[in-house]
């Protein structure tokens, strides 16, 4: 189990693995923590991963179920916030990439749960689930 002090490093490592997967899959270079203008008038917001021609924008979430198999509503709120920011980027493919997270009490992964309960909010943003151990990316929904 990770302590809170380890969470930023775990999140950054997850982002780096996701960026590497996208670079290999799309044959493009990606940068981290890239600012893009959103809203009217535009205000800069830093997105987790953006490719060099700004056509793909990714927000990463390295969340897990709670120890008892419940969902952290605060964490799901942060995913919804990321979807909201991505919704302003109408000229780019947008993705939420969630770490594959399973729990013995659940018949679905956390990404599947998020997609099932929030697909009405997604618009054109796709939800992907990344398995760090097998280096497999999969679409939810």
In this structure, the strands spanning 136-139 and 126-131 are: antiparallel
pTM: predicted TM-score of the whole model, two decimal places: 0.93
Contacts of 102 (CB under 8 A, 6+ apart): 65, 109, 110
Residues 115-125 have a mean pLDDT of 97
Residues 134, 96, 132: CA angle, nearest 5 degrees: 15
Share of the chain above pLDDT 70, in %: 96
Question: What's the token pair of residue 90?
Answer: 């109408």
Specify the DSSP class assigned to residue 3.
-
Is residue 1 pLDDT above 50, yes or no?
no
Condensed to tens digits (0 to 9), the pLDDT of residues 22-38 reads 999 999 999 999 999 99
> Distance between CA atoms of 52 and 32, rounded to whole angstroms?
10
**Number of domains the chain contains:** 1
Condensed to tens digits (0 to 9), the pLDDT of residues 67-114 reads 999 999 999 999 999 999 999 999 999 999 999 999 999 999 999 999
Q: In the chain, how many H helices and how many E strands?
A: 3, 6
Tell me, what's the pLDDT at 15? 96
CATH code for the domain of 115: 3.40.1350
Beta bridge partners of 36: 45
Is residue 21 pLDDT above 50, yes or no?
yes
Average pLDDT, the chain: 93
Residues 54-75 have a mean pLDDT of 94
Question: What's the token pair of residue 107?
Answer: 């018949």
Tell me, what's the pLDDT at 10? 86
Which residues constitute the domain of residue 120?
A: 4-139
Question: What's the token pair of residue 6?
Answer: 């380890």
Question: What's the token pair of residue 22?
Answer: 């996208």
From 113, 79, 70, select the one nearest 97 (Cα to Cα): 79
Question: What's the token pair of residue 18?
Answer: 């996701």
């Amino acid at each position: 189990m990770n302590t809170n002090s380890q969470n930023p490093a775990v999140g950054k490592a997850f982002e780096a693995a996701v960026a590497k997967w996208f670079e290999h899959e799309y044959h493009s270079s990606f940068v981290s923590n890239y600012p893009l203008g959103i809203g009217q008038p535009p205000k800069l917001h830093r997105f987790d991963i953006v490719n060099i021609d700004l056509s793909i924008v990714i927000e990463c979430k390295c969340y897990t179920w709670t120890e008892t198999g419940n969902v952290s509503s605060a964490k799901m709120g942060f995913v919804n916030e990321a979807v909201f920011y991505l919704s302003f980027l109408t000229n780019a493919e947008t993705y939420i990439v969630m770490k594959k997270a399973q729990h013995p009490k659940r018949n679905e992964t956390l990404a599947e749960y998020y997609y099932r309960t929030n697909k009405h909010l997604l618009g054109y943003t796709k939800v992907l689930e990344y398995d760090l151990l097998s280096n497999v990316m999969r679409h939810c929904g």
